[in-house]
Copies of this chain bind each other. A is one copy, B any other.
């Protein structure tokens, strides 16, 4: 079974910020990195990514700049901002926290 929408959505931002933390990148490439790093588990549609990138830029977690590839094609690169890095740390903490709670409940029994 594919991963459910809500989880995919909730993980999108930290994933993108993580990728950009490892180096500037552009939309099309991010999708491929996500596919790669997830072992094919996550297959983002491009139409889904761009709105997220725009949202993140609006929140000033990332900044964009245009660049021309050797191919001649123009690409919109994104770099993570200071605020974005803070957000990334925060979001990773949140994930860990909830995973922890979930873990705590595993096999616990009533008093």
Question: A residues bordering B, Cβ < 8 Å?
Answer: 1, 3-4, 6-7, 9-11, 14-15, 18-19, 22-23, 37-38, 41-42, 90, 92, 94-99, 101-102, 104-110
Contact = CB atoms under 8 A, between A and B. Distances in A.
Contacts of A37: 101, 104-105, 108
A9 B4 CA distance: 13
Copies per assembly = 2
Contact of A106 (B18, B98, B108): B18
Contacts of A42: 101
Contact of A14 (B11, B15, B102): B102
A99 B95 contact: yes
B6 A105 contact: no
A17 to B, nearest CB: 9
Contacts of A9: 6
Given A6-B9, A6-B10, A10-B7, A102 B92 contact: yes
